Amino acid sequence: MIKTKIIGPFVQLLTMDNIPLKGSVNDSQLEIIPNGGVVVCEGKIVKTGNFEQLCYEFRDQHTIIDRIDKDMVAIPGMVDPHTHICWAGSRAMDYSLRLAGKSYLEIAQSGGGIGDTVTKTRAATIAELESLLTERAIAHLNNGVTTIEVKSGYCLNTEGELKLLEVIGNVNKTIRVDLISTCLAAHIKPNDFEGKPSDYLESIVNELLPEIKKRTLSNRIDIYIDNGAFTVNEARVYLKHAKKMGFDLVIHGDQFTIGGSLLACELEALSVDHLEAVNDLEIKLLSASNVISIVLPGASLGLGCGFAPARKLLDAGCSLAIGSDWNPGSAPMGDLLLQTAILGIFEKMTMAESLAGITFRAARALDLTDRGILKERFLADLAGFPTSDYREILYNQGSLKPSAVWKKGENVRVRI
């Protein structure tokens, strides 16, 4: 017999429903159900509404009551649309050099940076990588993040990149959080590759991408466009090949130099991520496109540089999502909610805009239309916070953590 479950009562249930995908949002647009409940069946939401009314309506359907005995506010399970949490080793040395005044490029050129992580990740076993990824993903889940994008990109050869994508797929089958894999073999040209950056990209197209398709390891291709990585022209050729093969496109763009946003619009990428260096022309084009703008405040905090202009992007009508960029170099903290709260105060974002950026707008950046909103037929992914006022979530700037997390209606994290 299929069981129905009612979760509640929540002092406030923030559904995130009826908020536009693009542009600015006022807090008055938030749908808040007082004394709310969520009816769940087979991992999906059947109905939301007043908890007592739902209990009465479903009283004859062998309903299980997942009763909340303390004050709690629920929001949709958070979605992190940009992470690099499949890696081995540490870049603490990089961080100390950065504090001493060295730039990102100077550190990379002296043997640190992405190349250092590549060496350590190549040397790690599959079991070691699965353990590290599991630990980080569960930490995210405990903090209310129920869907996590995870990039490869720390092996930079065919064998190693396949290993990382296999690891992501294996871990996704074993833990109660959704991992969405992305191939970032085009992170940088590896130090041991003999040839030009364009030759390296061609080798990915000929050797790696067909194997990814064959093994169904990912449907997403990313590339880093910047000084020390790949040029716009190199990326254009590469991404056109990937798109022709049926992959969705993602771009690391406009972090230190511009060009990535323009290419994202040209090729109709799902998202362009970073945008710290974006200017008015790029913003105008993004606002007229369907490309999701993903800003990464963790990278700004880790590198000590300015935030992406989130306020300008929203006011121009862009769809803005927020990712943690959790990685060993520029964003080692990985706390999505803390970063979102800090970005919000510096960029003067409303609470509704911040919450939209880590729920349904972030989901759309991953081309997912079944989560990020608490409504009928959506996944029953919820994060419950021990408070009676939703504003406390961002007001406490990340220090207020969920006391319960539901993934597809199952309580997967409870803190006493």
Q: What is the mean pLDDT of residues 197-210?
A: 98
Note the pLDDT of residue 198. Answer: 98
What is each CA distance from 189 to 6, 54, 83, 212, 218, in whole angstroms? 52, 57, 20, 19, 21
Mean of pLDDT over the chain:
96
Note the pLDDT of residue 44. Answer: 98
Split at pLDDT 50, 70, 90, the class of 416 is very low
DSSP 21-61: SSS---GGG--EEEEEEEEEETTEEEEEEEHHHHHHHTTTS
Place of tokens 């974002």: 349
Categorise residue 241: left if φ over 0, alpha if ψ from -120 to 50, beta otherwise.
alpha
Note the pLDDT of residue 109. Answer: 79
Residue 204 predicted with pLDDT over 50:
yes
Tell me the per-residue pLDDT of 72-96, one tens digit each, with 9 for 90 and over. 999 999 999 999 999 999 999 989 9
Tell me the per-residue pLDDT of 370-398, one tens digit each, with 9 for 90 and over. 999 999 999 999 999 999 999 999 999 99
Split at pLDDT 50, 70, 90, the class of 1 is low
State which of 56-65, 98-107, 383-392 shows the largest mean pLDDT.
383-392
Dihedral in degrees, nearest 10, Cα atoms 232, 236, 238, 240: 160
Note the pLDDT of residue 235. Answer: 98
Annotated domain spans of the chain: 4-77+372-414, 79-365
Split at pLDDT 50, 70, 90, the class of 5 is very high
Tell me the per-residue pLDDT of 296-350, one tens digit each, with 9 for 90 and over. 999 999 999 999 999 999 999 999 999 999 999 999 999 999 999 999 999 999 9
Place of tokens 């803390």: 338
Instruction: Identify the bridge partners of residue 151 per DSSP, sorted by sequence position.
Output: 182
Determine what percent of the chain is predicted with pLDDT higher than 90.
Answer: 92
Rounded CA-CA distance 386/348 in Å is 25
Residue 290 predicted with pLDDT over 80:
yes
Residue 107 predicted with pLDDT over 90:
no
- DSSP letter for 306, please: P
Stated pTM of the model: 0.97
Q: What is the mean pLDDT of residues 351-355?
A: 98
Fold of the domain spanning 4-77+372-414 = Urease, subunit C; domain 1 (2.30.40)
Rounded CA-CA distance 133/48 in Å is 34
Determine what percent of the chain is predicted with pLDDT higher than 70.
Answer: 99
Split at pLDDT 50, 70, 90, the class of 413 is confident
Helices 158-172, 113-123: crossing angle, 10 deg rounding: 70
Categorise residue 285: left if φ over 0, alpha if ψ from -120 to 50, beta otherwise.
alpha
Residue 414 predicted with pLDDT over 70:
no
Note the pLDDT of residue 62. Answer: 83
Fold of the domain spanning 79-365 = TIM Barrel (3.20.20)
Q: Are 167 and 179 a contacting pair, CB within 8 Å? A: no
More confident residue, 155 or 1: 155
Residue 60 predicted with pLDDT over 90:
no
Rounded CA-CA distance 315/2 in Å is 46
Q: What is the mean pLDDT of residues 156-170?
A: 98
Residue 215 predicted with pLDDT over 80:
yes
3-state helix, strand, coil in the chain (%, to 5): 40, 20, 40
Q: What is residue 109's three-state secondary structure?
A: helix
Tell me the per-residue pLDDT of 245-282, one tens digit each, with 9 for 90 and over. 999 999 999 999 999 999 999 999 999 999 999 999 99
Residue 110 predicted with pLDDT over 90:
no
